[in-house]
Every structure is written in C-alpha cells, then in structure tokens.
Structure 1
Amino acid sequence: MATELKDTVSFEDTLGRLDIRLGRVLAAESAPDAPKASYRLTVDFGKFGQRVSVGRFTQHAAGELVGRQVLGVLNFEPREIGGSASEVLILGVQYPGAASGEATFLTPGVEAKLGSKVF
C-alpha cells in the first residue's frame, strides 16, 4: 500500500534539531508493565553516558540485542512507559510480518565509535 510523501522541509528545522547518536546495547530485559510487549534497554552512548529506552523490539531475543550498535535520539523529552522512564528513542523500522509497532533496530554497516553523530 503506497502512501504519499510528506511535505518538503528544511534540514535545519528537522534533522538538524535532533541529536541522533550511536550507542551499544548493554542490557535488554522484559518491560512487564509496558502496555504492549517491550524491552527495557540500557544503551551506552560513550561520552554521552548510558540511557534507558523502552521499545518494541521483541521479535528479537533479548540476548540478540545485547552488544548491538543502535541509533538513538538523545534530545527528546523522557517518556513514561509502563512505570519506566524511556530516556532515548531507539530508531527502528517495522519488523517484517510482525504486528504494527513491532520493530527491528537501525544499525550501521560497520562498527563505529560510540557517541558518533548521525549526519
């Protein structure tokens, strides 16, 4: 099902305002109080510290996530999700064949320095 593209926007008003950086998943555990099946991820962003994210990456086994490099938006306001503060949004796309909202994470093609900025 094709959808229309959104209006053209400037870099400065959109991606230029986001602080998207590379991190590594240190821990992944079930987030039992989240409204939908989710993991509570602890992610290391190098000099930007460790942050917690609650996300719907449950098509992956928790152990498969640990050690993986992921991309996260560091400058969104924290969100309360099922009793946990989600401090960073880990970027992902729809997991093939899974229910709406079930995601797989975005990751670089090669290992890169933690905290690296997306540009």
Structure 2
Amino acid sequence: MASDLKPTVEFDDTLGKLDIRLGKVLSAETEPSAPKKSYRLKIDFGKYGVRTSVGRFTGHTPEEMVGKQVMGVLNFAPRTIGDVQSEVLVIGIQFKGADSGEATPLVPLLEGKLGSKLF
C-alpha cells in the first residue's frame, strides 16, 4: 500500500456531497485573460444547462476537446479566472510530462446521457 494515501473518509462526508455529472463540450477556445494558458469551455449538462469552465486542458487542441464527454463538479461555488466566471470544475488528471496543473479530462469509455451523476 502506498504511504502517501490520505486517511479513510466516509462517503457521505466527501464524495456524497459533490454533484459530479456528465457533460459534453460544445466549444473550446483559448482564454487570454487567464493567468496561465487555459481554455474557456462551454459544456452541456443536459437538464442542468450549459455552463462555462476555464481549465488548463491545453495539451489538447480545442478541436480535440469539442464533442468530448467530460465529468464536472456542478456544486462548487463559481470561481473567477481572469475575466471569466468558471461555473464548473472539469475533473482531470495531470497531463503526462506536463507541468503541474496542466490536465487531461477524465472521459467515459462509452457515451452516456448528459447530466448523468457520477457514482
């Protein structure tokens, strides 16, 4: 077992409080006002609406991002990044060989229903 694991927690106190849902990237463009190279994404979460996210997914081209299904946290407070209100946190992992914070989004193996909840 890895020694850098965090302590055990209860589901209802952690993941159970997050509203993580499936969305589809409608558009991706460079966000010039962000402090670090980032994209502004418009993401459709089905009945939960279209939301904006600013994230460091620049290891991918905007064309690669459009049409991808991604998982996003819908119930974090909006965060101002540059001049944009980022309304959703897209879940990702560090892009291999990239600086900390540069990410690739977690994507499902099969297409799912927009707005589906992570469980």
Task: State whether TM-score is above 0.5.
Answer: yes
Aligned ranges for residues 1-119 of structure 1 at < 5 Å? 4-119=4-119
Q: Which runs of 5 or more structure 2 residues have no equivalent in the other structure?
A: none
Q: What is the alpha-carbon distance in structure 1 between the residues aligned to residue 91 and residue 3 of structure 2?
A: 21
TM-score (norm 1): 0.97
Counting matched residue pairs gives 118
TM-score (norm 2): 0.97
Amino acid at match of 1:40: R
Structure 1 residues 3 and 67, CA gap change in structure 2 (3 angstroms) = farther
Structure 1 residues 3 and 95, CA gap change in structure 2 (3 angstroms) = farther
**Percentage of matched positions with identical amino acids:** 65
Amino acid at match of 2:71: L
Instruction: Give the SS at the match of 2:54.
Output: strand
Q: What is the alpha-carbon distance in structure 2 between the residues aligned to residue 13 and residue 92 of structure 1?
A: 22
1:55-106 deviations in Å (ceiling 9; x for gaps): 0000000010000000000000000000100000000000001111100000
Amino acid at match of 1:51: R
Amino acid at match of 1:34: A
Structure 1 residues 41 and 3, CA gap change in structure 2 (3 angstroms) = farther
Q: Which runs of 5 or more structure 1 residues have no equivalent in the other structure?
A: none
RMSD: 0.9
